[in-house]
């Protein structure tokens, strides 16, 4: 398969910084409607379509992207804003949409801050594009790639009976997930009616008792309104039967799907950290700056990940939430291992090189892919190695560095493309040249990549913040100690603690999407390389890619809004008005040749 689509889901941290003396602060859940309101003032959108298994509040945008609130039940009031790019075929086109996402969320934060000031708040909202916060909570920058992954005939024969049996066992659980909330809603409605009737009777017979009951009802409703997360957590208990079921589905799908990609791609994903990592300050006695933020939170290779701590490299959720994908030959490969990049060179290389390797794996001509003996251990070793000299063990027993593994992948891709006589997209040659140049500089002069690779750009800022080598050595040895509750006993300790806080703040500030941001400062000074074009970025805010199904989705949204029609949108379908559904099952098909809402037809004419 030579053509594919890919995209990135970015979870933006929303941080409210209270003003001096300000006690109350809005939760992120309370802030989200303000963000969505500001979004709807700027762009044409439609709400996300209802899904029985995965309901998320949010909107799809006229450029084909999505925007929604993302939170786990445990931290429901303190969630994130996730924006997912439309499907793209070219990593340089994807870059325009990624930059448009960043600029849009920053603009929305500015508008939300203006509204908060009018509402009497003295603090402000800030947006972070990173993967870990000051409390060690992690959030993702997930990649999706459309891949060809057919099951061999023998594997298919073994899989289908197990799949059918598992879904037969799953149906009662799914029925429970649908009916139990409805039953709770019905009971709540009946209780409400009974309370109302009893209140009417008490107001006649015993007015004082009626007043006490009214105060109790108001107090209960007030508690629910002030703590909606508590209600969500209670309702989430109804989903308890789902989690053992997901474990069974994970085990089945991991035995049959993406096996070739997991075997042949994993070593690349582990070692691409050397040029795609966003950097992280860690005070634990090891190197002060790790190459990436995400590796400490990746705990397994492949599974369905609803939430929790066992994050995989390969996420298998589509095989459960879109069960028909298990019966086809093409499906989404979903990766949770990547950092959120601000350096545009690193972002293009991250997606472009991964897509090229997927193409080479699908071609099947190259067989000698590097395979790590222990990928998760290797990921930790690479992440803790800013000198890029650590050796990783392959299943063959050979020990090689991350850069040597990257070189092998680059040679394999070059060989595969050289043997392909068909037409080649222009971006592929450009990504190969960037990949070669990046590896060469990492080998000879890593600091020369300070304008292109995030962890190296961040290191420059950290060295400006703490220029004294003696201070950095002291932080490496005693940083965790002086930050502990009783670790700063002397004046020297307190000085070192202040330096530690400065370093940690500089780490977080690098990712802030505002004029205060560290990366933004480097960009304003011309110290990082920009690949996106400002005019194309403005275009990407309102126009979808023209060569994927995002075009059909975006045009349908434009049509609905210009004709004042309601609707609902998912990645593979759009509802226009009440009854007209449009299906976009092939991500590569823009449907530009088909008549539809984009050319002015009325989907409900004659209804």
Taking only the tens place, the pLDDT of each residue in 341-356 is 999 999 999 999 999 9
- Rounded to an integer, the average pLDDT of 286-290 is 94
Task: Tell me the Ramachandran region of residue 48: left when phi exceeds 0, alpha when psi lies from -120 to 50, beta otherwise.
Answer: beta
For residue 141, the 8-state DSSP code is E
For residue 147, what is the enclosing H or E element?
A: strand 141-148
Asked if residues 167 and 321 have their Cβ atoms less than 8 Å apart, the reply is: no
Binned at pLDDT 50, 70 and 90, residue 554 comes out as very high
pLDDT-derived band at 137 (thresholds 50, 70, 90) equals confident
Q: How far apart are CA 384 and CA 377, in angstroms?
A: 11
Which of 110-114, 306-310, 347-351, 498-502 has the least mean pLDDT? 306-310
101: left (phi over 0), alpha (psi -120 to 50) or beta: alpha
Q: Reduced to 3 DSSP states, what percent helix, strand and coil does the chain have, rounded to the nearest 5?
A: 55, 15, 30
Q: How many CA atoms lie within 13 A of 500 on its CB side?
A: 25
Give the range among 85-99, 401-415, 483-497 with minimum mean pLDDT: 483-497
Q: What is the mean pLDDT of residues 363-389?
A: 94
Domain boundaries, the chain: 1-129+534-607, 162-243, 458-524
- Among 84-93, 321-330, 406-415, which stretch is predicted with the lowest mean pLDDT? 321-330
pLDDT at 518: 97
| DSSP, residue by residue, 330-370 | EEEEEE--PPPP-SHHHHHHHHHHHHHHHHHHHH-------
Residue 593 banded pLDDT, cuts 50, 70, 90? low
In the three-class reduction of DSSP (H, G, I as helix; E, B as strand; rest coil), residue 443 is classed as helix
Identify the pLDDT of residue 603.
34
**Tell me, what's the pLDDT at 57?**
81
Which backbone phi and psi does 299 adopt, to 5 degrees?
A: -115, -10
Residue 124, beta-bridge partner list? 17
> What confidence tier does 302 reach under pLDDT thresholds 50, 70, 90?
very high
- The Cα–Cα gap between 484 and 477 comes to 14
Which residue, 180, 188, 187, is CA-closest to 236?
180
Residue 47, SS3 per DSSP: strand
**Cβ neighbours for 534, distance < 8 A, ≥ 6 positions apart:** none
Rounded Cα distance between 540 and 523, Å, is: 21
User: pLDDT for 397-426, tens place per residue?
Assistant: 999 999 999 999 999 999 998 888 777 889
Report yes or no: 427 and 352 within 8 Å, Cβ to Cβ: yes
Residue 174 per-residue DSSP state: H
Give the span between the Cα atoms of 490 and 493, in whole angstroms. Answer: 5
Check: CB of residue 307 under 8 Å from CB of residue 75.
no
CA–chain centroid gap for 269, Å, is 16
| pLDDT value of position 290 | 96
Per-residue pLDDT averaged across 74-80, rounded? 89
Q: How far, in Å, are 445, 461, 514, 533 from residue 521 at the CA level? A: 23, 10, 9, 19
> Which pLDDT score is estimated for 607?
30
pTM of the entire predicted model: 0.92
- DSSP per position, 279-346: -EE--SSS-SEES-SSGGGEEEEEE--SSSS-EEEEE-THHHHSGGGGGSSEEEEEE--PPPP-SHHH
User: What pLDDT score was predicted for residue 472?
Assistant: 94
Q: What integer best gives the mean pLDDT of the chain? A: 91
> For residues 441 and 449, is the Cβ–Cβ distance under 8 A?
yes
């Amino acid at each position: 398969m030579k053509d594919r689509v890919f995209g990135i889901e970015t979870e933006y941290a929303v941080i409210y910084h209270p003003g001096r003396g300000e006690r109350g602060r809005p939760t992120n859940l309370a802030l989200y409607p303000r963000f969505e309101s500001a979004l709807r003032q700027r762009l044409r959108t439609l709400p996300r379509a209802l899904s029985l298994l995965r309901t998320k509040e949010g909107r799809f945008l006229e450029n084909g992207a999505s925007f929604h609130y993302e939170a786990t039940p445990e931290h429901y009031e303190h969630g994130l804003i996730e924006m997912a790019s439309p499907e793209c075929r070219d990593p340089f086109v994807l870059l325009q949409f990624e930059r448009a996402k960043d600029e849009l969320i920053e603009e929305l934060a500015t508008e939300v801050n203006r509204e908060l000031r009018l509402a009497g708040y003295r603090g402000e909202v800030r947006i972070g594009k990173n993967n870990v916060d000051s409390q060690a909570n992690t959030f993702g920058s997930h990649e999706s790639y459309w891949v060809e992954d057919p099951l061999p005939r023998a594997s298919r024969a073994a899989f289908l009976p197990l799949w059918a049996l598992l879904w037969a066992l799953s149906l009662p659980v799914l029925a429970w997930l649908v009916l139990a909330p409805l039953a709770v809603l019905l009971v709540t409605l009946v209780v409400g009616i009974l309370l109302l009737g009893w209140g009417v009777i008490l107001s006649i017979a015993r007015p004082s008792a009626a007043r006490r009951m009214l105060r109790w009802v108001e107090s209960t409703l007030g508690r629910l309104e002030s703590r909606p997360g508590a209600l969500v957590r209670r309702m989430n208990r109804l989903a308890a039967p789902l989690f053992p079921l997901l474990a069974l589905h994970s085990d089945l799908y991991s035995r049959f799907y993406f096996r070739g990609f997991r075997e042949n791609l994993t070593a690349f994903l582990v070692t691409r950290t050397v040029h795609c990592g966003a950097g992280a300050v860690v005070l634990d006695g090891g190197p002060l700056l790790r190459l990436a933020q995400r590796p400490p939170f990746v705990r397994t290779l492949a599974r369905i990940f609803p939430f929790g701590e066992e994050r995989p490299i390969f996420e298998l959720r589509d095989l459960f939430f879109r069960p028909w994908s298990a019966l086809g030959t093409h499906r989404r490969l979903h990766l949770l291992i990547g950092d959120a990049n601000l350096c545009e060179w690193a972002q293009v290389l991250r997606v472009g090189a991964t897509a090229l390797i997927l193409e080479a794996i699908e071609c099947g001509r190259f067989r000698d892919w590097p395979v790590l003996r222990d990928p998760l251990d290797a990921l930790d070793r690479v992440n803790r190695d800013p000198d890029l000299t650590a050796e990783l063990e392959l299943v063959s027993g050979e020990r090689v560095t991350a850069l040597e593994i990257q070189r092998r992948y680059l040679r394999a891709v070059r060989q595969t493309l050289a043997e392909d006589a068909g037409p080649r997209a222009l971006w592929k040659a450009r990504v190969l040249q960037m990949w070669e140049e990046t590896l060469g500089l990492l080998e000879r002069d890593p600091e020369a990549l300070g304008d292109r690779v995030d962890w190296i750009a961040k290191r420059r800022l950290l060295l400006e913040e703490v220029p004294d080598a003696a201070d950095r050595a002291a932080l490496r040895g005693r940083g965790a100690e002086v930050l502990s509750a009783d670790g700063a006993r002397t004046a020297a300790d307190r000085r070192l603690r202040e330096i530690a806080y400065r370093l940690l703040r500089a780490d977080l500030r690098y990712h802030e999407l505002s004029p205060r941001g560290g990366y933004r400062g480097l960009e304003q000074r011309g110290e990082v390389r920009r690949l996106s074009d400002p005019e194309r970025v403005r275009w990407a805010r309102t126009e979808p890619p023209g060569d994927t199904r995002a075009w059909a989705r975006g045009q349908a949204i434009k049509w609905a809004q210009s004709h004042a029609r309601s609707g609902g949108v998912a990645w593979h379908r759009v509802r226009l008005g009440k009854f007209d559904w449009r299906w976009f099952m092939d991500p590569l098909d823009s449907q530009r040749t088909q008549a539809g809402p984009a050319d002015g037809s009325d989907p409900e004419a004659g209804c």
